[in-house]
Amino acid sequence: MPTPKIDLATKSDEANTSAVVLVWFAADADNKGASGPKYLGGRSKEIDELAHRLTSSHHFAGKKNELSVLRFYGFAGWPCVMLVGAGSSEKFSADVARQLGASVFKCQKKEKLESASVRIDSLLAGVPPQEQPYYLQAFCEGYWLASYEYVFTKPASKEAFYPKKLDLLGAKNSPLKEVVDRGQAIAEAINFARSLGDKPPNILNPAGMATLVTQMAKGRKLKVTVLGQSQMEREKMGALLGVAQGSDFEPKLIQIEYRGGKKGDKPVALLGKGVTFDSGGISIKPAAGMDDMKFDMMGAGTVAGVMQAIADLEIPLNVTGFIGAVENMPSGKAQRPADVVVSSSGKTIEITNTDAEGRLVLADVITYAQKQKPQAMIDVATLTGAVIVALGNAATGIMGNSAALISRIKTAASYTGEKVWELPLFDEYEEDLKTPYADIRNAGNREAGSSKGGIFIKFFVDKSIPWVHCDIAGTANNKSDLNYNPPKGASGAMIRCLTHLLETWQPLQDQKK
């Protein structure tokens, strides 16, 4: 599957591609006298004539992601015009621009348009000048994100058509080249994470994940270290190893180091749950929908994607990613409900539900990461079905011990078009995780299930380290409400958000909430 190019072009390059792309906005709802779509870019005789025809024909209204292709229209030398609707100009945002980029790619593919040229003045005319670079970056991200297609075990048809390029008219000889490159780096990181999640679990087992992450790091300023079972046994990772013991696949702990900051500066630690398949173990899941449990490693996919992005963007910060890669299977050697394991922290855990396994993996990964004395920790995990009950597929649940870090993640999410929602870690929730048989049990009753998962993880976090937990169970896969996501498969949730957070990183003042 070829990756299409996005090039900067000038006015003199017009009519060198298969079609011109024009962005139109819907008529304002409160302007009763208006009819037809609005064009905010530069006016011309051809634009005025086209606007008149659209108004009189009621052919195209400019609704968000509305598309229409006028073949053989003969617009200013182009044989084809692609009309793209952006919706209300008052509600236009960077994420709408991202969706427009996806719409353009999909239209090119459907209409078999090898190349196209978008007039960026039609896209950016109503955007404040200081925000225009990011809107254009978002548009490019959407274009490349929409180009993602899973072809690992189902190669594309030889007859399949793929667009080759998109020109940005009016952008040449401007500082926007860096903007396009940034959009590509982020989109490629997300698509890499998607490619991990979409692979079948017999291929993306823990060793397979370690291999692919190691391959990703080659040629980048990333150092990967992989711990096997014997090394984890020496680290006394009883919680993680307990999850893995029912599987024939050996677990792996994957450490990815990026040193873009000053020597000696404490790193920010990213931790990912990498359960490459989650059957639930002895507490086995229902058969319906169990195939989606190959996506239970998308916390790890997010961490790997962020590490790729920050390396390609060369951000000036030290960051270390930690991935606990295991498979959770039932077998004669699998752990049982009522087992008690000893985590690498020395704290004991009663296993009351083997399907609450991700928090066990993270317990030992957190303890291992804390040996580096990070300045902050963020873990990402498809942790609970309860977060889907609470927030649906619209938002990632976040919780933690640092008000400052939570606030920054909210800001980064808003900027990058991701949605997050803070959930509480009330002391009352701790009562349900108490047990007479160990320091803590891994699952309580169903009430506030997502927060109780966070409470369990918090039990292993050093109180002096700012920490936030991101539960992406609802946003990690099958999130087709946004057209730049695949209709089915991994989404790459939180990569844009966390990459922006790390790019704009400042030392935290508060240590806990």
Q: Is the pLDDT of residue 15 over 80?
A: no
At residue 510 the predicted structure's pLDDT band, cuts being 50, 70 and 90, is: low
Same domain for 224 and 280, yes or no, is yes
Q: Which residue has the higher pLDDT, 60 or 480?
A: 60
State the average pLDDT over residues 300-328: 98
* Residue 510 lies inside a defined structural domain of this protein: no
Q: Strands 223-227 and 115-119, how do they pair?
A: unpaired
Domain edge (last residue) among 121, 137, 169: 169
Identify whether residues 158 and 214 lie together within a single domain: no
Q: Are residues 160 and 197 in the same domain?
A: no
Looking at the chain, the whole-number percentage of residues with pLDDT higher than 90 is 87
pLDDT of residue 189: 98
List pLDDT tens digits, range 227-247.
999 999 999 999 999 999 999
Burial of 4 from C-beta contacts in 10 A (0-12 / 13-18 / 19+): buried
**Which structural domain, as residue segments, surrounds residue 282?**
186-503
Q: Give 181's contacts (C-beta < 8 A, 6+ positions apart).
A: none
Give CA–CA dist 455/436, Å, rounded: 18
511 pLDDT band (50/70/90 cuts)? very low
Helix (H) or strand (E) holding 57, with range, is helix 45-57
The domain that contains 398 carries what CATH number? 3.40.630.10
- Asked if 259 contacts 310 with a C-beta cutoff of 8 angstroms, the reply is no
Whether 38 has a pLDDT exceeding 90, the answer reads: yes
Specify the pLDDT at position 159: 84
| 428-450 per-residue burial string, b: 16 or more CB within 10 A, e: under 16 | ebbeebebeebbbbbbbeeebbb
This model's pTM is above 0.85 = yes
In a domain, 197, yes or no: yes
For residue 311, which phi and psi values (nearest 5 degrees)? -70, -45
> Last residue of some domain: 123, 138, 169?
169
Residue 77 is predicted with a pLDDT of 83
Q: Which of 336, 352, 330 is nearest to 247 (CA)?
A: 330
Please, how many CA atoms are within 13 Å of residue 347, restricted to the half-sphere of its CB?
A: 22
Same domain, residue pair 102 and 246: no
Report the pLDDT value the prediction gives residue 513, as an integer from 0 to 100.
46
- Check whether 2 has a pLDDT greater than 70: yes
Residue 255: DSSP 8-state: E
**Can you say whether the dihedral through the CA atoms of 443, 511, 310, 418 is positive or negative?**
positive
Does 108 share its domain with 234? no
Instruction: Indicate whether 393 and 278 sit together in one domain.
Output: yes
Retrieve residue 32's tokens.
């009763």
Q: Judge if 190 and 323 occupy the same domain.
A: yes
Is the separation of the CB atoms in 384 and 453 below 8 Å? yes
Q: What is the CATH number of the domain that holds 139?
A: 3.40.220.10
d(CA 295, CA 276): 7
- pLDDT, tens digit (0-9, with 9 covering 90-100), for 52-77: 999 998 889 999 999 999 987 778 88
- Among 115, 141, 169, identify where a domain stops: 169
Spatial separation of the C-alpha atoms in residues 254 and 226, rounded to whole Å: 5
What separation in angstroms does the CA of 472 have from each of 36, 83, 132, 144, 481? 41, 35, 30, 23, 16
Q: Which of 54-68, 184-198, 305-319, 346-360 has the lowest mean pLDDT?
A: 54-68
- Asked whether residue 140 is assigned to any structural domain, the reply reads yes
- pLDDT tens digits, 288-307: 999 999 999 999 999 999 99
In a domain, 423, yes or no: yes
How many degrees, rounded to 5, is the angle at CA 320 between CA 317 and CA 323? 150
Q: CA–CA separation, 473 vs 110, rounded Å? A: 32
Query: Are 351 and 267 within 8 A, CB to CB?
Result: no
Please report whether residue 120 resides in a domain: yes
Average pLDDT over residues 474-498: 95
Closest among 145, 174, 189 to 315, alpha carbons compared: 189
Lowest mean pLDDT among 27-41, 421-435, 493-507: 27-41
The pairing of beta strand 318-328 with beta strand 252-259 = antiparallel
Does the pLDDT of residue 313 top 70, yes or no? yes
* Statement to judge: residues 124 and 214 lie in one domain: no
Looking at residue 173, its pLDDT comes to 64
Instruction: Please report which residue ranges of 65-114 form alpha helices under DSSP H.
Output: 94-111
Q: Do 206 and 62 fall within a single domain?
A: no
Mean pLDDT, the chain, rounded, equals 94
Residue 401: inside a domain, yes or no? yes
Beta-strand runs (E) in 52-103: 67-75, 78-85
Q: Are residues 154 and 191 in the same domain?
A: no
| Residue at 509 is within a domain | no
Look at residue 394 and tell me if it is in a domain: yes
Q: Could you tell me where the DSSP H helices lie in 199-265? A: 206-217, 229-234, 238-244
Residues 160-173: pLDDT tens digits?
A: 899 999 999 987 76
Residues 123 and 196 both lie in one domain: no
> How many domains in the chain?
2
Q: Is the pLDDT of residue 114 over 60?
A: yes
Q: Are 320 and 369 in contact (CB under 8 A)?
A: yes
Question: Which residue numbers are catalytic?
Answer: 285, 359
Beta strands in 183-280 (DSSP E): 223-227, 252-259, 268-278
Residues 109 and 225 grouped into a single domain = no
